[in-house]
C-alpha cells in the first residue's frame, strides 16, 4: 500500500492523530464500531481520543449497540441507528428465517415473539440483561416443576412471574401456562384466570382457549 493511501485511510479512521472528542462525536465520525466485545469497542474509541475513559463511553446515552451491517454487533450513534437498520436489516431476514426454521420456530411464532418484545419495550421500556435473565429463570423453573408433576408449584411460580413482571416479554405466556394448569387443579380458579387473561390480553394468542375454559361445564 502506498504511503498517501495509508495516510488517507488512517485519517479517515481517526488514527493519524488523537483528538479530544466525546464518545458521541467520535462514533458519529466513525459511523459504526465493531462491538462484539464491549471492552474492545471502548478501547477502539479510547485509541482515537485524548482523555476518554471507559466510564464516559458506558455513560453516554447517545450511543447504542445493535445488530447492523453484516449482522454483527456495532456501536453507533442513536441518530444513525434507524437508517442503518433500514439499510442493512433486509439482507438478514432470509438468513434469520432459515435459521429459526432449523430450530423449529415457524414464521408465525417468530412474528408473535417480535410482537411480544415490542409490546414489552413499549410498556416497560428497555430491560437489562439481568432483568431478562431473572424472568427467564423464573419461567424455566416453573416449566421444570410442571414437567416433574408439581403443578401447584408451577402455578405459584408462573403467578409470581406475572405479578413481578406484568409487562415483561414472558408475562402472557406465563399467564397462559398458569391458566391451563389450573384446569386440572381448581376449575373455579381456572375460570377466574381465564377471565383475567382476556381482560389483560383481549387479542392474546390463547384467547380461544380462555373462552373454552370459561364456557366449560
pLDDT digits (tens, 9 = 90+) for 189-200: 999 999 999 999
pTM of the model: 0.55
Rg (C-alpha) for the chain, rounded Å, is: 24
Length of the chain: 217
Q: Any idea what DSSP says for residue 166?
A: T
pLDDT in tens, 151-168: 999 999 999 999 998 888
pLDDT tens by residue, 66-118: 888 887 899 999 999 999 999 988 888 888 888 888 888 888 888 877 877 77
- Given a contact cutoff of 8 angstroms between Cβ atoms, the answer to whether 52 and 45 are in contact is yes
Q: Which H/E stretch holds residue 23? A: helix 23-30
Average pLDDT over residues 16-32: 82
Residue 151: per-residue pLDDT:
93
On the question of pLDDT at 1 being above 60, the answer is: no
8-state DSSP, 20: -
Mean pLDDT of the chain: 86
Cα-based angle 64, 69, 75 (whole degrees, multiple of 5): 20
Interaxial angle between packed helices 171-183 and 187-200, expressed in degrees from 0 to 180 and rounded to the nearest 10: 160
Cα–Cα distance for residue pair 53/22, rounded to 1 Å: 10
**Backbone torsions φ then ψ of 2, nearest 5 degrees:** -75, 160
Determine phi and psi for 31, rounding to 5 degrees.
80, -60
66 vs 76: CA distance, rounded Å: 8
Of all residues in the chain, the percent with pLDDT exceeding 90 is 37
Q: For cell 373455579, name the residue.
A: 188
Reduced to 3 states (helix: H, G, I; strand: E, B; else coil), residue 98 is: helix
Q: How far apart are CA 165 and CA 163, in angstroms?
A: 6
Domains of the chain with CATH codes: 3-92 (no CATH), 125-215 (1.25.40.10)
Amino acid at each position: 500500500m502506498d504511503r498517501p493511501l495509508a495516510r488517507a485511510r488512517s485519517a479517515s479512521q481517526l488514527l493519524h492523530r488523537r483528538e479530544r472528542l466525546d464518545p458521541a462525536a467520535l462514533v458519529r465520525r466513525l459511523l459504526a464500531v465493531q462491538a462484539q466485545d464491549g471492552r474492545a469497542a471502548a478501547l477502539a474509541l479510547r485509541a482515537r481520543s485524548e482523555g476518554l475513559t471507559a466510564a464516559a463511553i458506558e455513560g453516554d446515552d447517545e450511543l447504542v449497540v445493535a445488530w447492523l451491517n453484516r449482522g454483527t454487533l456495532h456501536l453507533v450513534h442513536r441518530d444513525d441507528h434507524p437508517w442503518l437498520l433500514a439499510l442493512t436489516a433486509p439482507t438478514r431476514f432470509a438468513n434469520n428465517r432459515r435459521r429459526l426454521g432449523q430450530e423449529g420456530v415457524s414464521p408465525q411464532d417468530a412474528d408473535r415473539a417480535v410482537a411480544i418484545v415490542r409490546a414489552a419495550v413499549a410498556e416497560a421500556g428497555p430491560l437489562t440483561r439481568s432483568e431478562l435473565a431473572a424472568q427467564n429463570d423464573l419461567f424455566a423453573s416453573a416449566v421444570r416443576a410442571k414437567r416433574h408433576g408439581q403443578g401447584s408449584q408451577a402455578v405459584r411460580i408462573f403467578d409470581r412471574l406475572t405479578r413481578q413482571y406484568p409487562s415483561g416479554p414472558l408475562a402472557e405466556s406465563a399467564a397462559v401456562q398458569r391458566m391451563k394448569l389450573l384446569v386440572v387443579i381448581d376449575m373455579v380458579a381456572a375460570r377466574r384466570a381465564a377471565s383475567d387473561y382476556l381482560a389483560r390480553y383481549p387479542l392474546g394468542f390463547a384467547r380461544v382457549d380462555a373462552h373454552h375454559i370459561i364456557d366449560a361445564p
